[in-house]
Amino acid sequence: DQQVKQNSPSLSVQEGRISILNCDYTNSMFDYFLWYKKYPAEGPTFLISISSIKDKNEDGRFTVFLNKSAKHLSLHIVPSQPGDSAVYFCAATANFGNEKLTFGTGTRLTIIP
Amino acid sequence: EAGVVQSPRYKIIEKKQPVAFWCNPISGHNTLYWYRQNLGQGPELLIRYENEEAVDDSQLPKDRFSAERLKGVDSTLKIQPAELGDSAVYLCASSSPSKGSMLNEQFFGPGTRLTVL
């Protein structure tokens, strides 16, 4: 039972344009959501997060949007840069971070120069 | 600040052999996690430690997997005997409560890629 789903295994975006990565979840107990970025041969690194009490969180070029009624969140990167090419994992947790992280399967983002 | 250190980075063994992975978390981080990441999947939690106590090991296959965190610092994850399906990347992460944050941000090591032949 995949509780966190990233339905797009890969995404290619032109440099300078907006990258939009999507994530859906099924567990209504999830109340905190995170995005991790992973380069080859490295561990995932934390990128940005959002609590269920918000619908938007912004950090520089990265913005995460949360639609609780649709159980859907998205990560927007604008403008996209070549260094953004990586695998992006969506993760969710309950009890505002005091429970384990449940990860999606990841989306490989490729930024085309 | 040094990150999470894991060794070895790569390990190739034959099935039925034992294998062990080592993790040194970020200094001062009380919480340590072991994850397994299968090809094309996201990381899945195996076990979580708070200091030296395993507080969540519900996903650890206890018939062949074992873990320890003596003295609440370094940790070792062992598989004995290994099976073909154990081929995966084993990730260690650590975290510590942050003031003003609802979430203990987890810092991941580079992982150990295990191949069982």
Determine the pLDDT at residue B96.
Answer: 83
| CA-wise closest residue to A87 among A8, A18, A25 | A8
Of A41, A43, A51, the CB nearest to B91: A43
| CA-wise closest residue to B72 among B32, B100, B19, B34 | B32
Mean pLDDT along residues A41-64: 94
Q: To the nearest whole number, what is the mean pLDDT of chain A?
A: 94
Of A96, A101, A106, the CB nearest to B102: A96
Q: How far is A100 from chain B (nearest CA, A)?
A: 7
Determine the pLDDT at residue A100.
Answer: 83
- Cβ contact A56:A71 at 8 Å: no
pLDDT along chain B (117 residues), means of 10: 91 97 94 94 94 90 94 94 96 78 77 97
Q: How far is B71 from chain A (nearest CA, A)?
A: 23
Determine the pLDDT at residue B1.
Answer: 64
Determine the pLDDT at residue A98.
Answer: 62
Give tens-digit pLDDT for A60-107: 999 999 999 999 999 999 999 999 999 999 999 987 656 688 999 999
Residue of A nearest to B39 (CA): A105
Amino acid residing at A113: P
Query: What residues in B contact A45, CB-CB < 8 Å?
Result: 107-108
CA atoms within 13 A on the CB side of A44: 34
Contact B111 A101 (CB under 8 A): no
Q: How far is B102 from chain A (nearest CA, A)?
A: 6
Surface of B (44-83) touching A: CB under 8 A: 44-45, 48, 56
Q: Is A96 helix (H, G, I), strand (E, B) or coil?
A: helix
Contact B44 A103 (CB under 8 A): yes
Percent of chain A exceeding pLDDT 70 equals 96
- Cβ contact B3:B26 at 8 Å: yes
